[in-house]
Amino acid sequence: MKALYFGTYDRASPRNTQVVSCLRRAGVTVVERHREVWGRQNWSVGLGQLARVVRAEGALARRQPDDADVVVVGYPGHFDMPAARRIARKRPVVFNPLVSLHDTFVGDRARFRPRSPAAGVLRAIDSGAFRGADLVVADTEAQADFFRRVFGLPGERVAVALVGAEEPLFRPGYHPPEPFHALFVGKLIPLHGLETILEAAALAPEIPFRVVGDGQLAELLERRPPNVEHVPWIPYEELPEAYRAAGCALGIFGTSEKAARVIPNKVFQALACAAPVVTGDTVGARELLTDGADAILVPPGDAAALAGAVRRLAADQQLAQRLGDAGREAFEARASEEVLGAQWRSLLERVVAGR
C-alpha cells in the first residue's frame, strides 16, 4: 500500500511525525507532499497567515497526482482539504485533524468572539473539511464522538487512533531525582490548566515545580510561587531526559469541554519514558489510564487534589516507580508504534476497499 501524506501540516507536530513513522513501520510506503506554513512561530489565523496558506494550496494543487492508493491530510489540514480532494480524484481522502479550528480558537483559546465573522469563517472551514473526508481519524473516542455530533458525520466515517510518542527518542529510564520535582511541559494554553498548577505549587511550597514552555498564558508565570521554575524552551531532543529526571510529569487540568476529550502529547511522552503521570480525571484520560493503577487522576481544576497527588509521589518512591512502570506498560499495549501502525494501516486499507 502507498499513502500520500499531503498538505501544509505541521512537521514539528508529534501527531504528524507519529502517523508517518507508524505507517512506515507497518509496511506502508509514505510519500510526503508538503508546503511549510504552520511553523513554531506561525500558529495564527490572521490575514498574513491566510495569504501564505492560499499560496501554499495553489502550489500543492498544481503538482501532478501521485500514484498513491490513498491521500492522508495531516494536522492542521483543514485548509488543505479542497486541494486534497482535487488531486485525489477517485481515491479516498483521510483527514487527520486532531482538533476543530472553531473549537480551538473560539471555544478553547477565546481568540475570537463566538458570533464574530472570524468565528463564522472558522466554522465553515471546519464543516467543509470534516464533511469532505472519506474518513476522519480522531485521537480519542471522546473526540470522535464530538466530531460526529458537531459535523453530523455517520459513525463509520470517524475512527480513532491514539497519538503515541516517538519511541526512538522517548524511551524508559526513569531515575527518581534528588530533590523531587514536578515537571510540566506545554504551550501554556487554557486547555492545560496552568492556573491550577500554579495554585497547587503554592499549596505545596516544599516541592519544586518546573514549568517548561511559553504561550498564551505566560503572563501568569510573572506571579508564580517561589518554588516554581520557568524555562521558556528546551530543545525537543532533551525532553525525554527531562521526563526521566522528574519526580512526576503533569498532564492537563483545564476544565473546558475540549480538555475533557483529549490526551495530550506530554502524557504519552511521559508514559513512554516510564515517568509517573498526574493528570486530569477526564473521559479522555480514562480511555487509556486507570487512577491508582498506571497514573494518578485528579479532578480538573482542583489545585488541592493536584497538590495532594504530587505530595503522595514525593513521599513514596515505590509508588512513583510502580506507577511509572505500569504507565509504560499501558503505553506499550495501546500507544506503541507497532500497535498504532497496525491500526493506521487497517484504517487505510478499510477506506481504500470501501472506495
Instruction: Walk me through the domains of the chain, giving residue ranges and CATH numbers.
Output: 2-164+337-354 (3.40.50.2000), 182-334 (3.40.50.2000)
Using an 8 Å Cβ cutoff, are 270 and 249 in contact? yes
Q: Tell me the CA distances in angstroms from 343 to 26, 115, 151, 339, one per residue in order.
A: 9, 39, 24, 6
Query: How far is Cα 224 from Cα 52, in angstroms, rounded to an integer?
Result: 37
The predicted structure's pLDDT at residue 104: 85
Q: Is 229 helix (H, G, I), strand (E, B) or coil?
A: strand
How far is the first Cα of the chain from the last one, in angstroms, to the nearest whole number? 14
The reported pLDDT for the residue numbered 16 is: 95
Give, for 5, the enclosing helix (H) or strand (E): strand 2-7
Task: Supply the pTM of this predicted model.
Answer: 0.92
Angstrom distances, CA of residue 68 to CA of 4, 15, 36, 85, 211: 6, 21, 21, 14, 43
pLDDT along the chain (355 residues), means of 10: 94 92 97 82 59 79 79 94 92 96 83 85 94 98 98 97 95 90 94 97 98 93 97 95 97 96 97 98 98 98 98 97 98 97 98 90
Residues in CB range of 13: below 8 A, 6 or more apart: 75, 98
Quote the pLDDT of residue 46: 60
For the four alpha carbons of 344, 20, 289 and 272, in that order, the dihedral sign comes to positive
